[in-house]
Amino acid sequence: MPGKPQISSLPSSVSKSSVSAGIALGSNLGNRLRHLQDARDLLQRIAESGSLLQAPIYQTEPVACPPESPDFYNTVVEIRYAGSAHDLLDATQAIEFRLGRAASPERNAPRVIDVDILYFGDQRIDGELLDLPHPRLTSRRFVLQPLADIRPDLVLPGDQVSIAEHLRHLDSREPPLVTVQAVW
């Protein structure tokens, strides 16, 4: 359909080498667990076969959201991906669209699904549409905790310390996270 983002797999003939990409998933509307599962399943379709790592799902209080916003379910997955970072951005935006995320003029408004690229291999991108590593990754417990669950020793491009170290030294007013589902 014209105008609708499409989710597709790269053809098997693509010879690009794949990179590890960390992706944060969040939902605070509707069946939050189902939305995260659906997003994960769609990411798995574009990932290198068998490459998906997934952290537990946590329930978190909204951060920098409008008053009365419902709690989020948050997690992080990592996939191996053979396209470019901008190809992955197109795919994540198509996943959000497919799962019913509506555009909102209000910043950080409640949403069915949020799919954010956290890092893409060792690339550093400071662009109009995409900043990598994600600029707020190391200041948000709801991202650091699940990422530390699957990649505690990861050192982001341009950084000096591991994700686990960032989490240990996090100065945040976010309350502790509540595990919703370890295996999903």
Catalytic-role residue among 32, 38, 40, 114: 114
Are 26 and 72 in contact, with CB atoms under 8 Å apart? Answer: yes
SS3 59: strand
Catalytic-role residue among 90, 116, 131, 159: 116
Residue 81's beta-bridge partner residues?
19
Contacts of 165 (CB under 8 A, 6+ apart): none
Rg (CA), the chain: 16
Q: Is 87 a catalytic residue?
A: no
Catalytic-role residue among 32, 111, 141, 151: 111
What distance in Å separates the CA atoms of residue 114 and residue 24, rounded to the nearest whole number? 8
Q: Is 34 a catalytic residue?
A: no
Q: Is 116 a catalytic residue?
A: yes
How do strand 19-27 and strand 72-81 relate by DSSP bridges?
A: antiparallel
Q: Is 114 a catalytic residue?
A: yes
Contacts of 128 (CB under 8 A, 6+ apart): none
Catalytic-role residue among 32, 40, 101, 141: 101
Active site residues: 101, 111, 114, 116
